[in-house]
Amino acid sequence: GMSLLRHLEEQRARLEALLELFSDEQTQLIAGQPDGEALQRIAKAKTQLLGAIDASEASRRRVQHRLGYSPDARGARQAAREAGCETEWQTLLSLTAEVARTNERHGRLIEQRMRHNRQMLDYIQGIAEKNVYSASGRPQASSGRLNTSA
């Protein structure tokens, strides 16, 4: 099997790559004109990395269990200590926490962005409907909402 040290180093590389993707994503999200294609690419890459991280983590837990350690965080730390890589394990835990925080922050950013876009669309739609109304000179029968502006 793969040594725990190598496993932890690979997980670390994946988590760092994920943070890098979050950084690219943030650049796009706060840009005036986000690049939709870039965001899709980033989302796809994130999904692939998260899948790899999960699979790797599941296999680490299986090995941990097979070697007779308890299946919880305490067992993980003990396994790491006895394999001489407790420092790497700590690093991985901090990185994981950072990824979780960043993920949450981005969720909020994306929500704000979508809310903002919806407000813009509503606003633009409102203007368009007013223009339809004034162009025809009389309310459109199809939409009761327009009558209020008469």
The pLDDT of residue 147 is 47
Distance CA 42, CA 59 (A): 26
The pLDDT of residue 83 is 93
Alpha-helical segments (H) within 2-85: 4-30, 36-66, 73-82
pLDDT digits (tens, 9 = 90+) for 49-90: 999 999 999 999 999 999 999 989 999 999 999 999 999 999
Residues of the chain under the 50 pLDDT cut: 147-150
The pLDDT of residue 141 is 55
Instruction: Spell out a b/e string for 5-25, using b for 16 or more CB atoms within 10 Å of the CB, else e.
Output: eebbeebeebbeebeebbeeb
Q: How buried is 38 (Cβ within 10 angstroms: 0-12 exposed, 13-18 middle, 19+ buried)?
A: middle
